[in-house]
């Protein structure tokens, strides 16, 4: 039918997680601690609060590094390293620290005063 917009799901019940395309809910038991699932398969794109995304499989692990958004796990050693911090934090020495630039969404790695991306509604200006 022409001119009809397909329906999108806004939220799933607590036992399910929403796929990124918003067209399907999948059982949370197949992707534990996942906030948003990939469009196919059992891979996660974003984890629930307190969990970090593993880069080697799209699953979520309990975060052991405060304010870390995504992890890389070296399975041979079982060591998790933080790849990216949550909004407003910057990564230095495998630690996420609060940044110092107002309305900064994402910092340049290891740089407390260097904003890479501003929050929505703000623009980056240069002092140069």
Domain ranges of the chain: 7-48
Lookup: tokens for 22: 């918003």
Q: What is the mean pLDDT of each run of 10 residues along the chain (128 residues)?
A: 66 87 87 86 81 75 81 63 86 90 86 88 77
Beta bridge partner(s), residue 61: 52
Q: Residue 118: what pLDDT?
A: 92
Is the C-alpha dihedral spanning 53, 95, 79, 61 positive or negative? negative
Q: Please state, in angstroms and rounded to a whole number, the distance separating the CA atoms of residues 78 and 73.
A: 6
Q: What is the DSSP string of 23-82?
A: S-EEEGGGSTTEEEE-SSTT-EEEEPTTEEEETTTS-EEE--STTEEEEEEETTTTEEEE
Whether pTM > 0.85 for this model: the answer is: no
Q: Residue 8: what pLDDT?
A: 81
Q: Residue 39: what pLDDT?
A: 85
């Amino acid at each position: 039918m022409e001119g009809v917009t397909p329906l999108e799901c806004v939220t799933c019940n607590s036992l399910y997680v929403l796929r990124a395309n918003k067209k399907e809910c999948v059982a949370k038991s197949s992707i534990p601690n996942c906030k948003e699932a990939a469009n196919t398969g059992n891979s996660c794109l974003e984890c629930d609060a307190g969990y970090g995304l593993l880069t080697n499989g799209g699953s979520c692990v309990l975060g052991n590094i405060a304010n870390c958004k995504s992890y890389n796990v070296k399975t041979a050693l079982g060591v998790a390293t933080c790849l990216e911090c949550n909004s407003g934090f910057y990564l230095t020495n495998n630690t996420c620290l609060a940044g110092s630039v107002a309305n900064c969404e994402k910092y340049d790695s290891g740089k407390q005063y260097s904003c890479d991306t501003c929050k929505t509604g703000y623009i980056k200006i240069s002092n140069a």
